[in-house]
Structure 1
């Protein structure tokens, strides 16, 4: 299985860090995001990566070269201007040799076992939605209990990990988000499969607060 890592974003919400380094090289507990991803995916026998880059590409390439690509085969699909997730995958898919491939957003740290997607081409990993704020329990209008952030049971969100049939590439936009274009059309025809991962460790790094929360959550975890 080949994997495409979507790592071309500007990471604007993580400024000023991303003024100096691209988002995939931001360290979480002293390990850059892209290193977390490559090492995790290698556990599932993925050893060939296509990295979609755009912003500060040279820094990403230099870092991985210094690390000898962690023993993997790595190629790059570089965007001269942002193409969105759909356009980025369409461009990178020219380097795909197999009938299907894996895609992962480059700002995710997770322990999801991606092999569970393999038996279903055009499938999306799902995790339970988590509240961004603490919640309360009410007895009529009286607050009786405060709760910290928690998953909302049976409300599932896109985890940003996909197993795609190469035939789907023709339906991707040259520019635009796959979530807002191809996935919507496929979903309307019931051509997408959702694979649920309950109680999975999953963090998306979109802000400084996300960095802090993920760093704390990783302590003691074997990922």
Structure 2
């Protein structure tokens, strides 16, 4: 169908960061990039932006660095009878029809795909940690139940998943598990389903996967620490995982660290260069995963296992078994008091409905 694409236009001199903000407010998640003569020079989707991030392109850089130059297009006057089939076959967001000079005539799409479409995937939340770095706040309260804003951390996490059509939850507990169960119950008050796994002794960051039953493993499983505040697009994460066809997808974030000294590069006893207080960017684990059922069924039930060990085990079997999904959305690991204090401030601008 024809769509109103006026809100999907962006100038070629805009930044990637500007494109992200524009995409966040759109139902149809695609941008059409115009040069100063209003000629269509490319398109950008969320996937294009994340691929740019994997290539270490800064979000402050020009959107042209993330642009798809080889986008599918039709020219004015051509036969459009196969256009809808093309969108379906190639899983496209939209196809523009342009004039010979590059000006857009119209845009065809099947319509926005709502995040709220129900999904059968199970979400496993790891909520069994002691939260010792947040003591004394966690002396009498498990970390997932600490309030950020007007609600516990774990409730915000659950509500974010529900917004993306994910409403089947399994919560792995250990420390003060009864408090978590008494607060959340079976999930009825949140319009979702909640089951619980009890770790008799801590099983590490991946061991609780082995406690899932066959009924949980019909589709890939989301797995997330229950102390992370984020608005990651879980719909796009699932789409990415399914297209990547890997055993595990790990969410990663860019972490920037400035070395407080001049870094010297040498060749034997001679200095080749000196870089004064350079900034290094590394990709770090964001504590959010999707794991295929086949990987989970091969685990030894009840055995302590950390996620790095599971990932390395999969890589030993297949070097292409694990993919990374770079996230540009808000993300905060509430591990220490300073993080908890920051979360209180950030909550207002990132999660409050007021």
Q: TM-score, normalised by structure 1?
A: 0.84
User: Which protein is bigger by CA-based radius of gyration?
Assistant: 2
The answer for the alignment partner of 2:104 in structure 1 is: none
2:203 maps to 1:83: yes
SS of 2:185's partner is helix
Give 1:94 deviation, angstroms. Answer: 4.7
The answer for the alignment partner of 1:172 in structure 2 is: 299
SS of 2:332's partner is strand
2:338 maps to 1:212: no
Question: Taking structure 1 as reference, are residues 170 and 135 closer, same or farther at Cα in structure 2, changes over 3 Å only?
Answer: same
The answer for the alignment partner of 2:73 in structure 1 is: none
For the residues of structure 1 that align with 2:181 and 2:175, how far apart are their CA atoms?
A: 12
The answer for the alignment partner of 1:202 in structure 2 is: 331
Alignment RMSD (CA, Å): 2.6
For the residues of structure 1 that align with 2:250 and 2:153, how far apart are their CA atoms?
A: 21
**Aligned pairs, number:** 211
2:166 maps to 1:46: yes
Tell me: higher relative CO, structure 1 or 2? Use CA pairs within 8 A at least 6 residues apart.
Answer: 1
SS of 1:76's partner is strand
For the residues of structure 1 that align with 2:187 and 2:137, how far apart are their CA atoms?
A: 22
SS of 1:85's partner is coil
2:200 maps to 1:74: no
Q: TM-score, normalised by structure 2?
A: 0.54
Superposition map of 1:55-204 within 5 A? 55-65=175-185, 68-119=188-239, 120=241, 121=246, 122-131=248-257, 153=281, 155-172=282-299, 174-188=302-316, 189-198=319-328, 200-204=329-333
Task: Flag structure 2 segments of 5+ consecutive residues without an equivalent.
Answer: 1-120, 263-273
Task: Flag structure 1 segments of 5+ consecutive residues without an equivalent.
Answer: 144-150
